[in-house]
Structure 1
Amino acid sequence: MSDPVAEAKACVEAYLERSMIPDPEGAAAYVADDLQITFTGGRRFSNPAEPPAFNAKRYRWVKKRFLRTDAALDPETGDVHVYNSGYLYGEWPDGTPFDGNRYMDEFVVRGGKIVSTNVWNDSAEILLYRAGLAEAPL
C-alpha cells in the first residue's frame, strides 16, 4: 500500500538536494509544470532554475542543513503539505562564512509532484544587521 505522506516527504527532500547542487534539470523532475515558488520578500518564480540564479546574487554559495521534514495529508484534496526546516550555511558575497541562518520551506505536493512552495529565512535580517540597519541586535 502506498504512503502519500512518506512519498511527498521523499519528493521534497530529493528536490531540495538537487536544488542545492544546483541541478535545476534534476530538480525539475519533482515539480509540476505549473509550479509556483514564492521566495522570501514575495519574489515569485515558476521553475527550479530561478531560485539558484537569485541566490547567486545574495550568496557566494549556500546550502541547507535539514533539521526536520514534517508532512500532513489534506483528506479533502489529497494534497500533502510538507514543511522542511533547518539552517542555511555558506558564504556571503564578500567571502564571509555564515551558519545558523534559520529557514522554513512549505510545499504542496499533488499527484507526486510539487505544485507550490513558500520559502522563508533570516538572510534579510542578517544583512540588515551587518549593514548597521537592524532595529535590535540579533
Structure 2
Amino acid sequence: MPIVRTTLIRGYSEEVRVRLAERLTDAVAATLKAPLDAVTVAFDEVDATNYMRGRVPRTPGEALRPASDIVLHFLRLMEDRDLEAARRHLHPDFKMVFPGPSHGTALTKLEELVTFAAPRYRFVRKTIETVDESYRGTVTTVFVTGTLNGERLDGSPFEGARFIDRFEVEAERIRRQDVWNDLSLTLASTPESRG
C-alpha cells in the first residue's frame, strides 16, 4: 500500500490538486504492482510564510493547463479555420506529419495544411471518441482518436473515416502533431460502394 506525501505551498486550486493526485496515483500504479485503490496520495499544505528556499519566501508556482484541453481547443479552431487563434497554441518549432507517400508529408505552417487539404475535400470535422495523455519529463503526449466526417470536392458527404492524432505538448505549446487516418480510402470510395 504505497503512500505518496507531497508538500505544496497553500494556494493551488482544487482542480490542480485533484489532477496532481490522479497523476501521482497513475505513476505509482504504472510502476509498482499496486491496484489504484491501494495507492494513497496526501498533500501537506503550508503557508507561503512557512516555506523558504535560499532564504527567500516562496509562493505557489503557476500550474500548467491540461495538455488535452490545449489540443482539443486547437482542433476546434482548426475546424473553424481560425488559423490566427490556432497559431497561438503552437511551439516555434511546430511540425505536423500527415499520411502520404514514403514517410508522410511534414508541414510547419497552418497555411500549408489548408493548401494540403484543398485538393482533397471541402471540409472535415472530427467526432472525438477518446483522449489519452502520457508524460515524459516536461512533454505531455496526447492521443486523440475518433472518426472524420465532411464533404468531398464533388459536394457528396463522407463519414466514418477513422483517425488517430498524436500531439506533443510542452510548456502549453504544441510542438508536434502526427496524423494517421483512413481518409484517403474514404474519399476514394465510388458512389456504388457508398450504397
Superposed pair shares fold, TM > 0.5: yes
Q: State the secondary structure of the residue aligned to 2:109.
A: coil
Tell whether the 8 Å contact from 1:5 to 1:72 is kept in structure 2 after alignment. Answer: no
- Equivalent positions of 1:104-123 (< 5 A) are 104-123=164-183
Superposed CA RMSD in Å reads 2.1
Q: Name the counterpart of 1:68.
A: 130
Is 2:107 the counterpart of 1:48? Answer: no
Tell whether the 8 Å contact from 2:138 to 2:170 is kept in structure 1 after alignment. Answer: yes
* Pick aligned residue for 2:71 from 12, 16, 27: 12
Query: TM-score, length-normalised on structure 1?
Result: 0.85
Shift of residue 5, structure 1, vs aligned partner: 8.5
Tell whether the 8 Å contact from 1:19 to 1:52 is kept in structure 2 after alignment. Answer: no
Aligned residues: 130
Separation in 2, partners of 1:5, 1:122 = 33
Q: State the secondary structure of the residue aligned to 1:125.
A: helix
Shift of residue 127, structure 1, vs aligned partner: 3.7
Query: TM-score, length-normalised on structure 2?
Result: 0.61
* Pick aligned residue for 2:159 from 93, 99, 102: 99
Q: Describe the shift of the 1:131–1:118 C-alpha distance in structure 2 as closer, same or farther (beyond 3 A).
A: farther
Output one character per residue of 1:65-103: Cα deviation in whole Å (capped at 9) or x when no partner: 1112111111xx321000011111011111111111111
Q: What's the % identity of the aligned pairs?
A: 30
Separation in 2, partners of 1:115, 1:131 = 39
Tell whether the 8 Å contact from 2:158 to 2:187 is kept in structure 1 after alignment. Answer: no
Amino acid at match of 2:94: L
